[in-house]
Amino acid sequence: MNEKPKLLIIGAGVAGLSAGIYAQMNGFDTTIYEMHSIPGGLCTAWQRRGYTFDGAIRYLTEVHPEVKGYQLWEELGILNHTEMHFYDEFVCIEGRDGRKLHIYTNIDRLEEHLLELAPQDAALIHDFIEGIRDFTQLDLPVDITAADAREFAQMGRGMLPVLLPTIRWRNVTLDEFADRFTDPLLREGMHHFFQFSPKDFPMMLCLSTLGMMHDHEAGYPIGGSLPIAKSLESRYLDLGGEVIYRSRVSDIIVEDDHGTGLELESGEIVRGDMIISAADGRMTIFDFLDGKYTNEKINRIYQGGMTPSKSILQISLGVAMDFSNHPPMINFPLAEPVWLGNIRHDRLTLKHYCFDPNMAPEGKSVLTIWCEADFDYWRWLRGDLSRYRDHKDEVAEVVINILDQRYPGFRDALEVVDVATPMTYERYTGNWRGAFAGWALTTRKMSMMMGIGMDKTLPGLSGFYMIGQWVEPGGNVALSCASGRDVIRDICREREREFVTKSDA
Ligand SMILES: Cc1cc2nc3c(=O)[nH]c(=O)nc-3n(C[C@H](O)[C@H](O)[C@H](O)COP(=O)(O)OP(=O)(O)OC[C@H]3O[C@@H](n4cnc5c(N)ncnc54)[C@H](O)[C@@H]3O)c2cc1C
């Protein structure tokens, strides 16, 4: 007789795979049901005629072996052989006056550059630089939410070195801070420094991100997103886990208010002792569970109490030109605003991947443009496939024209074009309105990041847990993986079992 508790996991994104790995290490018998044919969810890439277009990681956090959070990657066993690339420059923002604001990752270099650009803003530059320096001291443990008083105290100790900076910056938004600069380039540049930031994006997050980049705690894993997901998958399989691909879950079966199984789209019913959903939060709570297990707080969150991350377009281009001498990310103003879909843009952000030899043939480059998109508009277009495809072509054409003017010969050197819309994200990952990182972080919601966290269970329902970017605001790969870890730790505690984070496999 199989005595191991059976755990069913919905979704082989990074959160689901991480939960699977920890569950296997802790003696559970697990199966992951994934609707797609490959692992990774949003943490993915796709190949087109010799080019690899990456869909996610620009930087992965906690990658320095000396930070506490690195424990996560060690336990998951996935970064051992991964080379990291650390950016010298995070982004270059071009002004309308031709000047360039380089956001260097080295703090001293950044300070010197900012002072050269805008000596009149010296006091504010000093604040900014000291803020980054202060947040280099942030070193949080691997647990995102404290399971007991001891862990809470541990987290508190981790926050201690940044307590004063946290108090100081907690209500400052990126936009407010940007507006304090008198220099037009710094003022405009700061607004564009963090792509897709919501209106009340915490300045603290910009400072801590730059702090992590300075200390090489945040970097790009050579190979990109998909190898990270595949490493998680192979670790999970090595530990005896099972993933069933092309297997879409349509319902969670509940008996006596306890999760006991899944219904698959094929009609098949699978049974288990516990269910973890690593899929979209709204789909999980309101579709799979028909909204039966909610409370005021959950309803408020899903009715607008929290801001989902934006729906986006990704225009990927493979070009027989070498962009390695350009900054890895450039935000530049357009001579005339353009419409991409139904949204008007007066700036674009262009990224290249020349620092990763896996992405394009030698001497050639992968370029991507990510920009905000209107989900409803793209859903409407998709109602007619040929209209949708024509529109994707039109959007690509607008971008190619701009790049051809900016980089003479670009159009002739162009080899591959690919456009992903919010519908693509929704179709392949199930995320609500194609949201690319779950809930956006705002100054008001920062407290959720600080030891309290969002609930990973639902009121009145036992044997059921949620993980991933919809329960970890500010969603990213490290947080989603840590969320899988936290939940298995909690399940072990509930069952009065030791939580094991190692395995011989
Ligand atoms: C453009 C972009 C840029 C990003 N940049 C970064 C970055 O620089 N650094 C960083 O760390 N993170 C970045 N992220 C965010 C990061 O990729 C995500 O937050 C993270 O991968 C989310 O993982 P997850 O497992 O929580 O969710 P998902 O990746 O959404 O995984 C959910 C999984 O569940 C599956 N699923 C859904 N519904 C069902 C169903 N009904 N049945 C079966 N399976 C189902 C999906 O197919 C998917 O595999 C970026 C994301 C995007 C899109």
Closest residue CA from atom 10 of ligand 1: 476
Cα separation, 394 vs 378, in Å, equals: 13
Q: How far is the CA of 422 from the centre of ligand 1 (A)?
A: 13
Residue 500 pLDDT greater than 80, yes or no: yes
**How far does the centroid of ligand 1 lie from the alpha carbon of residue 96, in Å?**
36
**Which amino acids bring their CB within 6 angstroms of ligand 1?**
10-16, 33-36, 41-43, 55-60, 248-249, 278-280, 370, 429-431, 436-437, 468-469, 475-478, 480
* Rounded distance between C-alpha atoms, residue 364 and residue 448, angstroms: 43
Which atom of ligand 1 lies at the shortest distance from residue 468's CA? 26
Ligand 1 pocket test, pick from 476, 481, 483 with the greatest ligand atom count within 8 Å of Cβ, gives 476
Write the pLDDT tens digit of every residue in 284-297.
999 999 999 999 99
Task: Determine the distance separating the centroid of ligand 1 and the alpha carbon of 11, expressed in angstroms.
Answer: 9
Cα 421 to Cα 315: distance, rounded to the nearest angstrom = 9
240: left (phi over 0), alpha (psi -120 to 50) or beta: left
Of residues 62, 59, 64, 21, the one with CA closest to residue 39: 21
Beta-ladder partners of 330: 92, 350
Under 8 Å between Cβ of 263 and 269 = yes
Q: Which amino acid is at 136?
A: T
Confirm if 344 and 337 have CB atoms less than 8 A apart.
Answer: yes
Q: To which H or E segment does residue 377 belong?
A: helix 375-382
Which pLDDT does position 337 carry in this prediction?
A: 97
> Which pLDDT tens digit goes with each residue over 454-484?
899 999 999 999 999 999 988 899 999 999 9
Q: List Cβ neighbours of 80 (8 Å cut-off, separation of 6 or more).
A: none
For 461-484, b/e burial (b = at least 16 CB within 10 A) is bebbbbbbbbbbbbbbbbbbbbbb
DSSP classification of residue 288: I
The enclosing H or E element of 416 equals: strand 414-420
Inter-residue contact 105 to 214 (CB < 8 Å): yes
CA of 471 to the centre of ligand 1 (A): 12
pLDDT tens per residue, range 142-173: 887 777 777 777 777 777 888 888 888 989 99
**Confidence (pLDDT) at 1:** 45
The pLDDT tens digits of the residues spanning 101-130 come to 999 999 999 999 999 999 999 999 999 999
Is-contact 407 413, C-beta < 8 A? no
Our mutation pick for probing the ligand 1 site, out of 43, 76, 485, counting the most ligand atoms within 8 A of Cβ, is: 43
Q: Residue 363: exposed, middle, or buried by beta-carbon count in 10 A (0-12, 13-18, 19+)?
A: exposed
β-bridge pairing 89-94 and 329-340: parallel
DSSP string, 442-474: -GGGGGGGTTT---SS-TT-BSEEE-STTTSTT
Nearest to 11 by CA among 236, 312, 298, 301: 236
**pLDDT confidence tier of residue 80, bands split at 50, 70 and 90:** confident
CA 354/CA 365 separation, integer angstroms = 6
Q: Which of 275, 477, 479, 486 to probe ligand 1 with, by most ligand atoms within 8 A of CB?
A: 477
- What is the per-residue pLDDT across 245-284, written as a single tens digit (0 to 9) for each? 999 999 999 999 999 999 999 999 999 999 999 999 999 9
289 contacts 309 by C-beta, under 8 angstroms: no
H-helix segments, 174-321? 174-179, 184-191, 203-214, 225-238, 281-282, 296-300
Report which of 478, 435, 446 is spatially closest to residue 308, judged by C-alpha positions.
Answer: 435
Q: Whose CA is nearest to atom 22 of ligand 1?
A: 469
Please provide residue 90's backbone torsions phi and psi, each rounded to the nearest 5 degrees: -75, -50
Dump pLDDT digits (tens) for 9-68.
Answer: 999 999 999 999 999 999 999 999 999 999 999 999 999 999 999 999 999 999 999 999
Q: Which fold has domain 6-44+71-79+225-306+439-494?
A: FAD/NAD(P)-binding domain (3.50.50)
Expressed in angstroms and rounded, the spacing between residue 102 Cα and the centre of ligand 1 is 30
CA 272 to chain centre: 30
Q: How far is the CA of 14 from the centre of ligand 1 (A)?
A: 7
pLDDT of 448: 54
* Residue 197 backbone phi and psi in degrees, to 5: -70, 135
At 301-345, the pLDDT tens digits run 999 888 889 999 999 999 999 999 999 999 999 999 999 999 999
* In the predicted structure, residue 381 carries a pLDDT above the cut 90: yes
* 121 CA from centroid of ligand 1 (Å): 40
pTM tops 0.85 = yes
Q: Please state the separation of Cα 460 from the chain's center in Å.
A: 30
For ligand 1, the distance from its centroid to the CA atom of residue 501, given in whole angstroms, is 23
Consecutive H or E run containing 23 = helix 14-25
pLDDT in tens, 205-251: 999 999 999 999 999 999 999 999 999 999 999 999 999 999 999 99
Annotated domain spans of the chain: 6-44+71-79+225-306+439-494, 105-215, 312-429
- pLDDT, position 426: 96
Per-residue b/e over 340-361, b at no fewer than 16 CB within 10 Å?
A: bbeeebebbbbbbbbebeebbe
For atom 2 of ligand 1, the residue with the nearest CA is: 56
Q: Evaluate if residue 505 carries a pLDDT over 70.
A: no
Predicted confidence at residue 447, as pLDDT, reads 58
- pLDDT at 159 (0 to 100): 76
Distance 457 CA to ligand 1 centre (A): 20
* Residue 138 vs residue 496, higher pLDDT: 496
- For ligand 1, atom 51: residue with the closest CA: 56
Nearest to 316 by CA among 420, 408, 195, 436: 420
Grouping H, G, I as helix, E, B as strand and the rest as coil, residue 250 is strand
- Among 272, 252, 254, CA closest to 263: 252
Q: Beta-carbon neighbour count of residue 290 at 10 Å?
A: 11
Residue nearest to atom 31 of ligand 1 (CA): 13
How far apart, in whole angstroms, are the C-alpha atoms of residue 99 and residue 179? 18
Ligand 1 centroid, distance to 114 Cα (angstroms):
35
Residue type, 240: G
